């Protein structure tokens, strides 16, 4: 009671911005999940490092040190050198931006296309839904890497086309998740209430359905970044993605493949880099799923 009187005092009570409040709440729940937090900070550090790392290193990723080729890890070359004598650590640092960039860009593009498609299918239903979902089913019928390979071989092998290929493969996942949540959300009473107030479809979709169906998408996006990075690396490994001498991790892995027996570190370090990034995104995504689930609220 006394609390209420304090709040109701003539001076305007301090009002916390609802968004800030929601974010704080979310972070509080995420904090409880230690692995997810480790994943989150790993990603954060990697992203920051991918920007400032190349500035900190004096060497160029394409510089060759012919005398020292196939050198193992040493004080001079932390991760050793490859078959052309290029410093692997420098190359990994430079390649980080490429790898993360492909991951984020392809997921962003996939979401940007998948979300509207899913919402339209779920909200309007009927024939529109049937046609869209059958097309999505067709996309899903292709194995991922095969679809990406086909797209890249049509468009030509470079990093932008790899990103597009991975993005196209991401569309069905986003569309399906969003459609399912939209189907559930559009029958909720608050949607009826806003309809009864005369709101148009645009307002209903953007203000009332989209914000309430976004959490599974965020989780899916985080987990999908890992898949996208793997697929892109796989394409580069197969020679369809980044072209030499770009220090893309998948391509570096391919470079090291021929010398696995004598100089395993050439393949080992890029491989480890991929593992760490993918693992970080996966645990963070899992933690995010728990943190965003309203049933977990305590």
Partner 1 sequence: MSQKQELLKINNLKQYFPIKGGVLGRTVNHVKAVDDISFNIYEGETVSLVGESGCGKSTTGRAILRLDDPTDGTVEFDGQDLLSMSKKEMRDMRKDLQIIFQDPYASLNPRMTVRQTLNEAMEIQKVVPQDERNDKIAELMETVGLQPHQVDRFPHEFSGGQRQRIGIARALSVNPKLIVCDEAVSALDVSIQAQVLNLLKKFQNEMNLTYLFIAHDLGVVRHISDRIIVMYLGKIVEMGDTKSIFENPQHPYTKALLSAIPVPDPEKKTDRIFLQGDVPSPMDPPKGCRFHTRCPFATEKCAEETPELRNEDYMEGGHVAACHYMKDIEAGVHQPTKDTTTVRG
Q: Which two tokens stand for residue 140?
A: 């899903």
DSSP 8-state assignment for residue 163: H
Q: Which of 140, 195, 216, 264 binds partner 1 (CB under 8 A)?
A: 195
Separation CA 205–CA 190 (nearest Å): 12
The half-sphere exposure of 64 on its side-chain side, counting CA atoms within 13 A, is: 9
Stretch of 9-17, 59-67, 90-98, 278-286 contacting partner 1, by CB under 8 A: 9-17
Q: How far is the CB of 18 from partner 1 (least distance, A)?
A: 5
Residue 293 within binding range of partner 1, rule CB under 8 A: no
Nearest to partner 1 of 97, 195 (CB atom):
195
Separation CA 18–CA 221 (nearest Å): 24
Q: Which of 75, 134, 141, 198 binds partner 1 (CB under 8 A)?
A: 198
Q: Which of 1, 2, 8, 58 binds partner 1 (CB under 8 A)?
A: 8
Length of the chain: 298
Stretch of 39-47, 199-207, 239-247, 284-292 contacting partner 1, by CB under 8 A: 199-207
- Per rule CB under 8 A, count of chain residues that contact partner 1: 27
Nearest to partner 1 of 10, 156 (CB atom):
10
Q: Which of 135, 194, 218, 238 binds partner 1 (CB under 8 A)?
A: 194
Alpha carbon distances (Å) from 168 to 86, 122, 131, 228: 34, 20, 18, 11
DSSP assignment of 66-99 equals: GGGTT--S-SSSTT-B-TT--BHHHHHHHHHHHH
Q: Using CB under 8 A, list all residues that contact partner 1.
A: 4, 7-8, 13, 15-16, 18, 22, 130, 188-190, 192-200, 203, 207-208, 211-212, 294
């Amino acid at each position: 009671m006394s609390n209420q009187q304090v709040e109701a005092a003539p001076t305007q009570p301090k009002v916390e911005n609802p968004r800030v409040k929601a974010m704080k709440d979310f972070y509080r729940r995420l904090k409880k999940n230690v692995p997810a937090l480790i994943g989150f900070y790993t990603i954060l550090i990697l992203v920051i490092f991918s920007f400032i790392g190349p500035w900190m290193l004096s060497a160029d990723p394409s510089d060759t040190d012919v005398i020292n080729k196939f050198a193992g890890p040493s004080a001079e070359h932390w991760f050793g050198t490859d078959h052309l004598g290029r410093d692997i650590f420098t190359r990994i640092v430079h390649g980080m931006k490429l790898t993360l960039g492909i991951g984020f860009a392809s997921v962003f593009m996939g979401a940007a296309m998948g979300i509207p498609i899913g919402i339209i299918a779920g909200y309007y239903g009927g024939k529109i839904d049937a046609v869209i979902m059958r097309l999505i089913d067709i996309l899903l019928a292709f194995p991922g890497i095969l679809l990406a390979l086909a797209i890249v071989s049509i468009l030509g092998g470079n990093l932008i086309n790899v990103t597009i290929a991975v993005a196209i493969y991401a569309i069905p996942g986003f569309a399906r998740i969003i459609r399912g949540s939209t189907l559930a959300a559009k029958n909720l009473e608050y949607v009826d209430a806003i309809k009864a107030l005369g709101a148009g479809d645009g307002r209903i979709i953007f203000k009332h359905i989209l914000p309430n169906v976004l959490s599974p998408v965020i989780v899916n996006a985080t987990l999908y970044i890992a898949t996208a990075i793997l697929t892109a690396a796989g394409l580069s490994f197969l020679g369809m993605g980044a072209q030499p001498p770009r220090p893309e991790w998948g391509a570096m892995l391919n470079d090291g493949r021929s010398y696995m027996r004598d100089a395993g570190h050439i393949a080992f370090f890029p491989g480890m880099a991929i593992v760490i990034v993918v693992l970080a995104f996966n645990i963070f995504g899992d933690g995010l799923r728990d943190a965003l689930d309203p049933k977990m609220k305590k």
